[in-house]
Amino acid sequence: MDCKRYLVVGAGFSGAVIARKLAEQGCKVVVVDKRNHIAGNCHTERENKTNVMVHKYGPHIFNTNNKRVWDYVNTFGSFMSYKNKVIADTEKGVFSMPMNLLTINQFFYTKLTPNTVEAYLKTKQLKIQNPQNFEEQALAFLGEDLYYNFFYGYTKKQWGCEPKELPSSILKRLPIRFNYDDNYYNSKYQGIPEKGYTGIISNILDHENIEVRLDTEYSSTENSNYEHVFYTGAIDAYHNYKYGRLGYRTVFFKEEIHNGDYQGNAVINYCDQDVEHTRVHEHKHFAPWEKHDKTIVITEYSKETTKEDEPYYPKRLEQDIKMFEDYKLYTNGLKENVSFVGRLATYRYLDMDKVIEEAISYVEYFINNKKTNRPF
């Protein structure tokens, strides 16, 4: 590849993976990020008073079925095995999440088995042909009792709208099991980096051809100084909100320090809509291989994104999808030397493994064909 200078906007997983691949080709890469740290929303750092590794933008558990992605991240740091088990605090008591046979048996005071649970749930399910949204999907599969106790309140708080306005794909993220397996994920490879996600991303960016500039806001006036720009920020922000703001939920946190073990688990979800917060995380439980006398406890609240907030969860309501299509059309018409990659630029709810997989395949195609391979 005839190597020139490239600009990567954003030092999260998407930007870091792209920068590294280009740098390994011998190209000079400048990575800018407006924040004062690398790693984007996966950023981790040790909290001063407790020395606990905190996932600053909310709990992150790496999980994937993609061996190539798993091997890739493991080249840049060691992962400790970690199985995420969540507790759901509800109006009717405290249960195991994701929903499994223990949850169902304790909730209904039954002794169902893998062979009898489905027939039992059928007696609860609402008859809805072709469920069209989150609520219909949940009612058709679980019935009213489980839906209202575990999903309605949490989802309404998390997304700030009625669950029937949301796509059913959000519910499908969560496994529902007819055995006693309480692992939050089904993925073959699961873990948490021993030295935090920022440690991994720092190693990805650690290459003589990569220059990282933090506290640096991107301006499109710079495009002409580079052969190509890989933009991993928000697409609506790139176009100065020409068609309006895409819908995002953001979260904010309240921190407390305690002695010992505060809640006995890394994450407790609060499913009752009258409880203001969505979940409480106690970060030392994400690193059970470390010992800490003190503990940092973080309560998470969800709210609508304003101009000042970091966009977290793309809402993807009907009007958002339409606006996103307008941004895509406009972007394609511009024919700039810019590619849009990652969760914000493509306005999708993407896990870490998926953004890494997409960044690798995108930049490989770019390197091999010297052009972009999709409308963006």
Work out how close the CB of 12 gets to ligand FAD at its nearest, in angstroms, rounded to a whole number: 2
Both structure tokens of 192: 């948490």
Work out how close the CB of 167 gets to ligand FAD at its nearest, in angstroms, rounded to a whole number: 17
Work out how close the CB of 168 gets to ligand FAD at its nearest, in angstroms, rounded to a whole number: 20
Q: How many helices (H) and strands (E) does the chain have?
A: 12, 17
Work out how close the CB of 86 gets to ligand UDP at its nearest, in angstroms, rounded to a whole number: 7
Bridge partners of residue 6, in order along the sequence = 29, 228
Q: Which does 338 bind (CB under 5 to 8 A by kind): ligand FAD, ligand UDP, none?
A: none
Q: Which of 309, 373, 325, 317 is nearest to 349 (CA)?
A: 317
Q: What's at 184, amino acid-wise? A: Y
The footprint of ligand UDP (CB under 6 A) covers 88, 97, 150-151, 154-155, 158, 170-171, 173-174, 269, 271
Q: Which does 173 bind (CB under 5 to 8 A by kind): ligand UDP, ligand FAD, none?
A: ligand UDP
Please give the positions annotated as active site. 173, 177, 249, 279, 300, 349, 351
Bridge partners of residue 230, in order along the sequence = 8, 339
Nearer to ligand FAD, 72 or 148 (CB): 72
Q: Which does 61 bind (CB under 5 to 8 A by kind): ligand FAD, ligand UDP, none?
A: ligand FAD
Whether the CB-CB separation of 321 and 284 falls below 8 Å is answered with no
Both structure tokens of 331: 């972007």
Whether the CB-CB separation of 296 and 52 falls below 8 Å is answered with yes
Bridge partners of residue 281, in order along the sequence = 267, 298
Comparing every residue's Cβ against ligand FAD, the nearest one is: 40
Give the length of the chain.
Answer: 376
Q: Which does 262 bind (CB under 5 to 8 A by kind): ligand FAD, ligand UDP, none?
A: none
Nearer to ligand UDP, 133 or 223 (CB): 133
Both structure tokens of 64: 């994937």
Q: Where are the beta strands (DSSP E) in the chain?
A: 5-9, 28-32, 44-46, 53-55, 62-64, 79-81, 86-90, 93-97, 189-193, 210-213, 228-231, 248-259, 267-270, 279-282, 294-304, 313-314, 338-340
Work out how close the CB of 25 gets to ligand UDP at its nearest, in angstroms, rounded to a whole number: 35
The footprint of ligand FAD (CB under 6 A) covers 9-15, 32-35, 40-42, 57-62, 217-218, 232-233, 251, 312, 342-344, 350-353, 355
Q: Which of 321, 303, 322 is nearest to 313 (CA)?
A: 303
Q: Which does 342 bind (CB under 5 to 8 A by kind): ligand FAD, ligand UDP, none?
A: ligand FAD
